[in-house]
Amino acid sequence: MMGTGGDAVVHALHALGVEAVFGIASIHNLPILDAIVRDGQIKIFDCRHEQNAVHAADGYSRVTGKLGVAITSTGPGAANAAGGLFEARFASSRVLMLTGQVESQFYMQGKAFLHEAESQMPMLTSLTRQSWSVRRTEDIVADVVAAGTAAMSGRPAPTAVEIPIDFQYAEHEYDEAPAVQIRRTTPDSKRIAQVAELLGTAKRPLIWAGGGVNHAGAADALRALVERLQIPVVTSMAGRGAVPEDHPLSVGPLITEKPVRELIADADVVVAIGTHFHMTNTGNWAIQINGQLAHIDADSRVFDRNYPTAARVIGDALLSIEALDSAVASTSAEAEWLTRSQEAGSAARDGVRKQIGTEYAAIMDAIRDNLPADGPVVRDATVPAYVWGNRLLPIVRSRTSIMPVSNAIGPGLPLSVGACVGAGVRTVVIHGDGGIMLSIGELATIAQYQLPLTVCVFNDKGYGILRKIQGSTFDGALHDVDLATPDFAALAESCGIKGVSVDNAADFAKVFAESCQSDGPTVIEIDMTNLGELMYGGKQRMMG
């Protein structure tokens, strides 16, 4: 086939099954964007910051299970994207970043060429599973396909490819894209048999489902396994939705609440699938696993890192669950174990619901009652997310629960852009006034494409989490945590988005329901002053 280097990139993207890309136009990527437009089969979503373009590609991938692609400039553009790659790596997301590079004759010459970045490859390599620097025009197709394949194989991880601008323009004859073969890690049958033996003799078995279950598309397989064997399931935050949280076998994600802590401590066999036992999921590893732990994960480096294992399986979550389902005929579970598990989950949910108060509970209920079951729920790192969004707002479908796994503030809005594009249905993002300012430019992206996205900005005029940490740790007046904030509803209107301000749950419910009936975006600013303080651990100081 004959075409430009940009055409070769598009050919590779088709081989990888790419249907959408997120990025920012630059003199160092225009040939790629031009080729995408001429081809007409891949949709471009223009973001307002390179980090947010990568976050959007990440959100798209988490919802669809497909490769998320971000296109940036070289040099400062690629450097801007670093935070997005960091989150994608932390969250094990299938993300490919395509970036430019100066003309090949000037590469590594130190001539101060426009956007020259001699250390771009070491930077990208430090943030990705692997990065490619195209050295010949003829290598574009193979390098892009290799990078996309690597991002989707094994435990997913972001990858990157830099392409000199003269290669992007160059007319050349390029080969047919090599076959894309995604590598799922096949579990060893003997290792599966060890886990099966543990489960088969367990009196009080428990499944701990992590984000790897959702990433692998293994939710249906897990549900089939636990329904047949009647095994209760707890989830990590990233594992939410692996079993619908309205299912009788779902204990839920409230692992650090006392009733669930006690349940986990009393389980005689815990099978953990696709989880790393993240610090925040385990209360700084205060959760006690007293029974025998079987750990299944595609990444062998996570075993015994936080909890000692009795059995370990290196394997893709889907393949491992299917193998385990075939290997376990039944369990010896005590008759009252399931009832006790259900009671523990209910007690934990009731306790947290009482803690958050009636106004926040009503807001949460309005979101769940009006949002489609398959509508993504995105949460930034903010007090409402930590207290109820991440833990209590019911998640009833796999791949609809999204949050910054690195606990960074700011990614929520761009993650929701990608999630909304990928899902194609009403999406909600729960944000704080502090965090949203880090990605506020993406309001223009939402307006440009009129995405069916409801942006909920909980405004306490500062960094609520940091207020609480500072107030519980240091004496004296609070400092550096109070912020001047814009009128978010008016700001939304200036971007061409419907903006509404509310200060009570009843008004929120009305406006949120209306947003779900519309085709376009809405920004709802929630004044937290009249809603009561959300308590989040430790000695507290009042907001404001």
Alpha helices in 253-334 (DSSP H): 258-266, 317-327
Distance CA 224, CA 221 (A): 5
Where the chain has pLDDT below 50, the residues are 538-544
Question: For the segment 260-314, what is each residue's pLDDT rounded down to a tens digit?
Answer: 999 999 999 999 999 999 888 888 888 999 999 999 999 999 999 999 999 999 9
Please choose, from the candidates 460, 420, 413, the residue with its C-alpha nearest in 3D space to the C-alpha of residue 441: 413
The C-alpha atoms of residue 322 and residue 261 are separated, in whole angstroms, by 28
Tokens at 106, concatenated: 């000037």
Domains and CATH numbers, the chain: 2-170 (3.40.50.970), 189-333 (3.40.50.1220), 345-530 (3.40.50.970)
Q: What is the pTM of this model?
A: 0.95
- Residue 441's pLDDT is what? 97
Dihedrals φ, ψ of 208, to 5°? -115, 105
CA neighbor of 419 nearest in space, from 401, 434, 394: 401
Whether 266 and 206 have beta carbons less than 8 Å apart is answered as no
Give pLDDT tens digits for 31-73: 999 999 999 999 999 999 999 999 999 999 999 999 999 999 9
Name the β-bridge partners of 498.
522
- Tokens matching residue 482: 């109070």
CA 205 to mean position of chain CA atoms: 28
The DSSP symbol for 180 reads P
Residue 177 DSSP code: P
Encoded tokens for 422: 């990928």
Residue 485, CA distances (Å) to 146, 375, 522 in order: 45, 29, 19
Predicted pLDDT of residue 399: 98
- Residue 535's pLDDT is 65
